[in-house]
């Protein structure tokens, strides 16, 4: 019963995150944002927007941050990768067992990370594994998330 409750909670978060991303995306597409050159460093506003999207829309820390012994998110290891704490109700052969580290975007190129966020495909062109939600973010939202993740420290102990 506890596993069902946790799965329901996670699905609720993912659904709410998807709805928030769509809302943010549609608001953004109505305005004409300034284009930046590909070589330009991210503006602080873009990093801040990425932080908002990571923590309040996509809720990345729910799965990509380890939990302590009480099941609470360990904020000292924010986005450093973690075992998946939810299980599917029915056996799912491609269910992921571990969420990778996102802090510092270590191990991913910017293009690879954007492809995950925009198309739901891993660097090898394979659909990402559940329970990861497949996002279809617009390019500027994906760029903001990448800018934020790259702004985080990438040197940390792996657990």
90-129 pLDDT, tens digit per residue, is: 988 889 999 999 999 988 899 999 999 999 998 888 899 8
Q: Of all residues in the chain, what percent carry a pLDDT higher than 70?
A: 71
By the 8 A CB rule, do 74 and 42 touch?
no
By the 8 A CB rule, do 29 and 138 touch?
yes
pLDDT at 37 over 60: no
By the 8 A CB rule, do 110 and 149 touch?
no
Angle at which helix 2-30 crosses helix 139-151, to 10 degrees, equals 120
The average pLDDT across 42-55 equals 93
User: What pTM, to 2 d.p., does this model score?
Assistant: 0.70
On average, the pLDDT of the chain sits at 79
Q: Does residue 112 come out as left (phi exceeding 0), alpha (psi in the -120 to 50 range) or beta?
A: alpha
pLDDT at 5 over 60: no
pLDDT at 156 over 90: no
The average pLDDT across 76-95 equals 91
pLDDT at 7 over 70: no
Q: How confident is the model at residue 40 (pLDDT cuts 50, 70, 90)?
A: low
CA distances (Å), origin 111, targets 68, 80, 119, 134, 142: 32, 20, 11, 16, 10
Beta strands in 6-158 (DSSP E): 82-83, 98-99
């Amino acid at each position: 019963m506890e596993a069902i409750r946790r799965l329901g909670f996670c699905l609720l978060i993912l659904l709410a995150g998807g709805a928030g991303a769509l809302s943010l995306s549609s608001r953004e597409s109505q305005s004409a944002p300034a284009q930046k050159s590909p070589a330009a460093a991210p503006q602080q506003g873009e990093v801040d927007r990425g932080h908002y999207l990571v923590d309040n829309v996509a809720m990345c820390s729910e799965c990509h941050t380890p939990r302590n012994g009480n099941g609470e998110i360990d904020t000292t290891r924010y986005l450093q990768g973690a075992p998946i704490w939810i299980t599917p109700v029915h056996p799912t052969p491609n269910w992921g067992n571990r969420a990778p580290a996102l802090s510092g975007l270590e191990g991913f190129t910017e293009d690879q990370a954007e492809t995950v966020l925009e198309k739901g495909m891993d660097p090898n062109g394979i659909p990402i594994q559940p329970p990861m939600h497949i996002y279809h973010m617009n390019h500027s939202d994906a760029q903001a998330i990448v800018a934020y993740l790259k702004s985080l420290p990438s040197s940390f102990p792996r657990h």
